[in-house]
Amino acid sequence: MDFKEVVQKICDSILSELGYLKLGYRIIVLTLADEKKGVLKRISLSQTFEAAKAQAASAIPFHDIEIPLDAQKNLLIQTLHEKKPRSTHFWPDIFTPVLTPKEAIANQKASGIKTSMLYPVTIQDKALGVLIFSMVKDEKEVSEAEEDLIRGFTDVVGLAVQNAKLYTSLSETTAKLDKANKRLQELDKLKDDFVSMASHELRTPMTAIKSYLWMALNKKKQDLTPDLNRYIFRAFHSTERLINLVNDMLNISRIESGRIALNLAEVDPVELVHEVVDEVIPKATELNLNVKVIDRQVSKVLCDRDKIHEVIINLIGNSLKFTKQGGSISITFEEKAPFIYISVTDTGVGLAKEDMDRLFKKFSMIEHSYTAASASGGTGLGLYISKSIVILHKGDITAYSPGREKGSTFTLSLPIAGTSTALELIKEAPKVTQDSKGLEKKRLGYI
């Protein structure tokens, strides 16, 4: 039940269910303190003939009767502050200053009430309000058993009111959070749609510009002056970088909006790494870097071959970018159920310990690090995208470095085919839908 239902049940139950009507009790009123407004409010009223008569005679509607918390002459306020029971035969004592004495007496006569007993409603020694027990007899006629039951009932009311308030507050907060969450989902979808649309609109003209620049660069050399050739070359690579940034934005949008699916298959990780290394050898030779694969027979992994191919290219490509000429890059394998671990170790610029927490964050730029895009031409998104993809595979990417200028190791883990982790992946992996997209591939060197 919500708060209103609970407090109404409180006022009705002692009369109807506990048989207090037969004992001369006619009206039960629950009042609660509203500290924000500084008043004691009438909350609920028993549904009896006498209560209806009192309401009909009142100059002010029941729920509009609010006693200021600083009205020290009002017995309800005294009961609330002192947390001690009181009684009265004179209703102006409990209606002042809202009703005039004449109006309060008229209400009392209309209802036929002789005595009203006031009991504080408390929880953990904090006064929440006051219960008014009005009856057609004198308080001297109230037995000890009646008083004990009223005190016990009042204690229970304190708990019930507190719980009902918490429940109602929780329900209201939950409703607000649900509404806010739906709005956030709508805004998130709008953001994804905008990023996707803007990225597509940017990529189309940039691809055309890149093609024209490539054609210009591949014309006969005598047709271009050295300066013009250099300018076109710079424009070509700047266009390439922008296209890669657009592709990164598309990939992030697809991953975060759940529009990327995994086409799972059993894959030989050693074979996949060799495939990637064959692609990077020309770039490594150009940079005078030694890339070697330390072969080892390991189990097959369960993964989306194309997506993990891009992840490995990202990791090796980063090592190519951040390792000085004459340096080396090695790829090793380790099998430790339920994962295969693929490590890419280089002799490059390394990482400071304080940079590790930021390494895989979106758009984080760390000086001298793998995400320092300014000098390398990267976007600062590759590691974030790669880790997101691997996490979809139930795996992870971790990084280790002894320090700056001491090289780094990036380790990728993927589930071994047939293990319980792989079976979980099959159940939980994003499935291909009409909206599913693959990853946008990027030219090595601008990852």
Domain residue spans of the chain: 3-142, 261-447
Q: Residue 62: its pLDDT value, please?
A: 92
Distance, CA of 7 to CA of 158 (rounded, Å): 10
The residue type found at 64 is D
CB atoms within 10 A of CB 183: 10
Q: Residue 441: its pLDDT value, please?
A: 58
Pair of tokens at residue 206: 């940039």
Is residue 334 within 8 Å of residue 297, measured between CB atoms? no
Average pLDDT per 10 consecutive residues for the chain, totaling 447 residues: 72 77 91 92 91 92 94 96 95 96 95 96 88 93 89 82 69 80 78 67 75 78 75 80 76 77 95 96 94 97 95 94 94 97 96 84 59 50 91 96 93 97 92 58 45
Kindly give the pairing relationship between strand 396-400 and strand 408-415: antiparallel
Pair of tokens at residue 347: 């002799």
CATH architecture of 3-142: 2-Layer Sandwich (3.30)
Distance, CA of 184 to CA of 72 (rounded, Å): 49
Q: For 99, what's the count of Cα atoms within 13 Å in the CB-facing half-sphere?
A: 23
Q: For 124, what's the count of Cα atoms within 13 Å in the CB-facing half-sphere?
A: 2
Please give the CATH superfamily to which domain 261-447 belongs.
Answer: Histidine kinase-like ATPase, C-terminal domain (3.30.565.10)
Q: Residue 374: its pLDDT value, please?
A: 40
Q: Residue 226: its pLDDT value, please?
A: 81
Is residue 434 within 8 Å of residue 244, measured between CB atoms? no
Q: Residue 372: its pLDDT value, please?
A: 46
Distance, CA of 379 to CA of 244 (rounded, Å): 8
Q: Residue 124: its pLDDT value, please?
A: 84
Q: Give the end-to-end CA distance of the chain in Å, rounded to a whole number.
A: 58
Q: Residue 227: its pLDDT value, please?
A: 82
Query: What's the farthest any 2 CA atoms get from each other in the chain?
Result: 120
Q: Residue 180: its pLDDT value, please?
A: 84
